[in-house]
Structure 1
């Protein structure tokens, strides 16, 4: 089988540096280097295989061939529809519909984004497992970023941890929010007695959500507000928890106090993600329009 092995090439621009140190400076983690050594990858310097202790000289050409990755246990490759907004050798941007899981779970073991991406990789002979960078809840629609290699996943995770990774959401919440823009900084942790629900609690993890009001409207004599939310952290159910804490749960989010009278799922959509390409450094921004069920909430 002719697999499309992932490889990166670098030109050395300094004198007498260990191959290990050079590759770490290029953003390749110790864990990835260990996988290259023991799981079928290669390190080539000017076409010859070398160990990480090899001393490099200026102008040397270094090629890193990454090992093939086995699909995650329990992830069954399936052929199914994927709305692909962008794809290259490193990343995949998917527009996910509401009702589809991002990864398999007890309630949704099949038909998830990960199942379909694994099927795509198998069909195209891409020897990689599925690395979800930005995961969405099953009933949240919108953009999902997927890395096509563990090294790319590492680089994007570092962006999220250090220099930022833009994640913008649109939501429809219950009630009238008076402030036009504000910041919610409230720690989030697991709710006592629940394995699913989260809550604001003093001993939780730091979480920040920026909120900007887009529109205030009335439907069926009830007040609602549409908002744009920017995440600075990625805690489980962060937006849903913060909006409940504010007293404005998402429409349709019955887990966190929202009513399903006018919508059968939480009114949340990942509308934009932005980051620097992990290999080229090019700034990238992707957007997704609101799906029909959320657009219809605006109808008076």
Structure 2
């Protein structure tokens, strides 16, 4: 059984414990967390609590995460925006607001549910909850994902990610006006010790490198393209914040006063890889979503 600790921060005091815990991981639903509390899997300062417990500053919450039961992920008919598909791989453009794969307590409405209805064959390497999933993008990031339809393709694509030969370019709007045209951020990332649901630049974290260049400057914002060399959780979001230019609309790493776009202004627009079977390099480009384009138009005015 996996264990996790979290210390209550200033902005969480007074909140119900089930709300705080369900906010720690994108895949945890409130219903599921309430069950964990009822089952005694959550203790605060060493004592069991009820689901309506109100948190105090510096409370130490310890969560024992139960082993996931074998789950049936149900195929769901969805209007997927598929850019490419053959018997080995599939490239799909994920809309903002969609979670990539299911988790216990949150088994429907994800990209995987739609993929399972669309194609009967997905690589089983990542198990029941993440069939075919080689890499993921955050719920509120839009853009291109590659999906493996068999284990041969899965291993090839994962190896390419490890060897850093996959092209992944993102468009983003950030706060502030970046003075230089090009930059590279080389700063290790790990879970934030003060806030387990966030990532941070940490001395002994995992190696992480992001390259960026400026596309357009506005009065208080900059439109940039970021290229991932590594693919850590929330990498672009944390790296841009680290150098003082957080993403517009980012509820986790951005300032309170920001642009209204329902999540961060981040789009995985270009994806390129070597095809597992033909060994040819293929590259795909997805245009910016409409709301992203509208935001740019407003900034230009």
Q: 1:108, CA displacement in angstroms? A: 4.9
- Give the Cα–Cα distance (whole angstroms) in 1 for the partners of residues 106 and 294 of structure 2: 27
Q: Runs of 5+ in structure 1 lacking a partner? A: 1-71
* 285, 288, 301: which one aligns with 1:287: 285
Alpha carbons of structure 1 residues 127 and 209: separation in structure 2 relative to 1, 3 Å: closer
- What's the CA shift string for 1:235-264, capped at 9, x where partnerless? 000000001101111001020024444322
- What's the CA shift string for 1:27-55, capped at 9, x where partnerless? xxxxxxxxxxxxxxxxxxxxxxxxxxxxx
Alpha carbons of structure 1 residues 201 and 128: separation in structure 2 relative to 1, 3 Å: closer
Contact 1:79–1:116 under 8 Å retained in 2 = yes
Q: In the alignment, is residue 161 of structure 1 matched against residue 162 of structure 2? A: yes
Contact 2:164–2:230 under 8 Å retained in 1 = no
Please tell me whether Structure 1 or Structure 2 has the larger radius of gyration of its CA atoms: 1
Q: Aligned to 1:203, what secondary structure does the other structure show?
A: coil
Q: Aligned to 2:291, what secondary structure does the other structure show?
A: helix
Q: 1:128, CA displacement in angstroms? A: 4.8
Contact 1:207–1:233 under 8 Å retained in 2 = yes
- Give the Cα–Cα distance (whole angstroms) in 2 for the partners of residues 132 and 87 of structure 1: 15
Q: How does 1:191-206 map to 2 (within 5 A)?
A: 191-206=192-207
Question: What residue is the counterpart of 2:83 in the other structure?
Answer: 85
- What's the CA shift string for 1:214-241, capped at 9, x where partnerless? 00013xxxx0001000001010000000
Alpha carbons of structure 1 residues 108 and 288: separation in structure 2 relative to 1, 3 Å: farther
Contact 1:217–1:298 under 8 Å retained in 2 = no
Q: 1:208, CA displacement in angstroms? A: 0.2
* 83, 92, 95: which one aligns with 1:94: 92
Number of corresponding residues: 222
State the Cα RMSD in Å.
1.7
Q: In the alignment, is residue 243 of structure 1 matched against residue 244 of structure 2? A: no
Q: In the alignment, is residue 264 of structure 1 matched against residue 262 of structure 2? A: yes
Q: Aligned to 1:255, what secondary structure does the other structure show?
A: coil
Question: What residue is the counterpart of 1:134 in the other structure?
Answer: 135
- Give the Cα–Cα distance (whole angstroms) in 1 for the partners of residues 122 and 222 of structure 2: 45
Q: Runs of 5+ in structure 2 lacking a partner? A: 1-69, 125-130
* 249, 252, 269: which one aligns with 1:255: 252
Contact 1:89–1:148 under 8 Å retained in 2 = yes
Taking structure 1 as the reference length, the TM-score comes to 0.70
Q: 1:151, CA displacement in angstroms? A: 1.9
Q: Aligned to 1:296, what secondary structure does the other structure show?
A: helix
Contact 2:143–2:267 under 8 Å retained in 1 = yes
Q: 1:163, CA displacement in angstroms? A: 5.5
Taking structure 2 as the reference length, the TM-score comes to 0.70
Contact 2:168–2:227 under 8 Å retained in 1 = yes
Q: 1:294, CA displacement in angstroms? A: 0.7
- Give the Cα–Cα distance (whole angstroms) in 1 for the partners of residues 202 and 279 of structure 2: 38
Q: 1:121, CA displacement in angstroms? A: 2.6
Q: 1:81, CA displacement in angstroms? A: 1.4
